[in-house]
């Protein structure tokens, strides 16, 4: 296949480029570097099957030649209000990537009669009142809250994707991505894994916000990318959760990271939450992925954290 991957210089996009190339496909990567980094793609330079186009997906997308698949991963995704790259500090760009970007990427797919895969998110479930979250759950989302620019952009993107499927007959796929971690994560992402790893590597106390009993389900990046690839090749047009169903409290994660890194500094608890409407529970029901894709995660949390630490140490040493 010849595939277009938007958001190619991001955490997930760069791993997708790598996977498709490893399977013998041709890849056109597209990114405007608003949150992505050229270093994530540096190892692909010189690969004759890889082409990069610097472009903002909010503007009309032109790709010379035929493409067989379009994977739309372009969007700010960090919830970190302290980071200039967090979606609360890029609200208009986030909404445009979800709305105009999805529209433009779908246009490429339609023009080429190509398969289209949308990167959606578990955030469309909001602070869920159903647990674990199944794909037929409509969600519990504040459309005006601090997180709404990201949540609603993805919800709109899903609706537009299904409209193109129903009205134009585009072959569409929707993946709802749950918490994912691994090499090439942004160190200032603002989510708990990079926050804790940075503090642990520096032998500082890990900062837990709230009571630490809010839960997340952490999926290692190689497992997620495998699930996305399987979904693209499947015949399933309805949304599919891809994530690890093993649920951990934030406090348990902190304790595990301190154990793995042998960090003696312990944990500090701050009662306030970093961002309003922080979901209290998050766990995917992956029955659909298991049944349709034959997929389930293989990498345990401890193994995944150990695989991620060398990358964080290298990046932190470069930033010093």
What amino acid positions are annotated as catalytic residues?
Answer: 150
Q: Could you tell me the CA-to-CA distances from 101 to 26, 49, 186, 262 in Å, in that order? A: 22, 24, 22, 44
Dihedral sign of CA atoms 90, 93, 99, 101 in order: negative
Query: What gap in Å lies between CA 69 and CA 26, rounded to an integer?
Result: 11
């Amino acid at each position: 296949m010849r595939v277009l991957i938007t958001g190619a210089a991001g955490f997930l996009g760069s791993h997708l480029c790598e996977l498709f190339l490893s399977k013998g496909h041709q890849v056109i990567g597209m990114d405007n570097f608003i949150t992505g980094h050229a270093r994530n793609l540096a190892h692909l330079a010189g690969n004759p099957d890889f082409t990069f186009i610097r472009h903002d997906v909010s503007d009309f997308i032109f790709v010379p030649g035929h493409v067989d698949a379009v994977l739309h991963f372009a969007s700010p995704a960090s919830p970190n209000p302290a980071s200039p790259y967090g979606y609360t500090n890029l609200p208009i760009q986030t909404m445009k990537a979800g709305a105009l970007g999805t529209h433009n990427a779908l246009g490429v797919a339609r023009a080429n009669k190509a398969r289209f895969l949308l990167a959606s998110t578990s955030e469309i479930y909001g602070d869920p009142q159903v647990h674990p979250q199944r794909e037929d759950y409509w969600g519990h989302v504040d459309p005006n809250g601090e997180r709404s620019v990201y949540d609603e952009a993805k919800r709109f993107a899903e609706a537009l994707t299904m409209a193109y499927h129903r009205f134009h007959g585009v072959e569409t796929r929707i993946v709802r991505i749950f918490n994912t971690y691994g090499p090439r994560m942004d160190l200032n992402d603002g989510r708990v894994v990079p926050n804790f790893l940075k503090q642990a590597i520096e032998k500082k106390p890990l900062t837990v916000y709230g009571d630490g009993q809010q839960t997340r389900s952490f999926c290692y990046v190689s497992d997620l990318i495998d699930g996305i690839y399987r979904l693209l090749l499947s015949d399933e047009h309805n949304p599919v959760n891809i994530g690890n169903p093993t649920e951990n409290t934030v406090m348990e994660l902190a304790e595990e990271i301190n154990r793995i890194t042998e960090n003696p500094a312990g944990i500090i608890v701050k009662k306030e939450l970093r961002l309003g409407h922080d979901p209290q529970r998050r766990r995917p029901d992956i029955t659909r992925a298991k049944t349709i894709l034959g997929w389930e995660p293989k990498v345990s949390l401890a193994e995944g954290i150990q695989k991620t630490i060398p990358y964080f140490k290298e990046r932190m040493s470069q930033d010093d």
